[in-house]
Amino acid sequence: MRVVLDANVYVSAMVNAQGNPQRIMACWERGEFDVVVSAPIIDEVGRVLRYPRIVKRHKQGEEVIGRLLALLASEAVVVEPAERLGVVKEDESDNRYLECAVEGKARYIVSGDRHLLALGEYGGVMIVTPAALVMLLETGGL
C-alpha cells in the first residue's frame, strides 16, 4: 500500500514521540506500507522543519533534519508528477500532495490540514487524519 504524508505529519512525529504521526513513521520504517513523495514535498518538509518556531518545538538539529530528508529521498517512492493540479484554491501548496498521490498511485494522503481533509477523497485517494490511518493499521483495515 502507498501513502503520501503531509509535512505536518513529519513535523508532529518529530515534536511528539508518542503521538499517531510517530506511530505512522514507525510503521513505515517497519515496512508496513510505502511512503510516496515528490521533490516539492521533500523541500516543504525540510523548509517547515527549519522554521524557528518549529525548531523550538522539536529541539532537533540540522543533522536529524538532514537524516529524515535523506531517508525520504532514499527509502520512499519518489515520483515526479506529470500534471499540476489546482483543486485546493485556499492553499495552492496543498495541491502538491494531490499530484504526488495521483502520480504515485497512493491509496491514502495522511494530513491534519483542513483544506485537504475537507476533500475527503480525490481521484480515488482517500484523505485521512493520522488517527484514522493508525486505526486502519491496527485493525488490519488496509
Residue 141 confidence (pLDDT): 66
Confidence of residue 140 (pLDDT cuts 50, 70, 90): confident
Rounded CA separation 25/39 (Å): 19
pLDDT at 84: 92
Strands 108-110 and 121-122: unpaired
For residue 15, give its domain range: 2-139
Instruction: Provide the β-strand partners of residue 4.
Output: 109
Please write the tens of the pLDDT for every residue from 7-21.
999 999 999 989 999
Beta-bridged to residue 109, according to DSSP, are 4, 127
**pLDDT category of residue 139 using cuts at 50, 70 and 90:** confident
Length of the chain in terms of residues written: 142
| Residue 142 pLDDT > 90 | no
DSSP E strands, 34-102: 34-38, 77-79
- Tell whether the model's pLDDT for residue 136 goes beyond 80: yes
Instruction: Evaluate if residue 131 carries a pLDDT over 80.
Output: yes
pLDDT in tens, 87-108: 998 989 999 999 999 999 999 9
Q: Number of structural domains, the chain?
A: 1
62: nearest Cα among 14, 120, 129, 3: 14
2 touches 77 (CB < 8 A): yes
| Residue pLDDT, tens place only, 41-89 | 999 999 999 999 999 999 999 999 999 999 999 999 999 999 899 899 8
CB distance 11 to 47 below 8 Å: no
Q: Residue 15 maps to which CATH number? A: 3.40.50.1010
Q: Give me 13's grid cell.
A: 512525529
pLDDT, mean over the chain = 95
Continuous segment of H or E residues that includes residue 131 = helix 130-139
Distance CA 94, CA 43 (A): 13
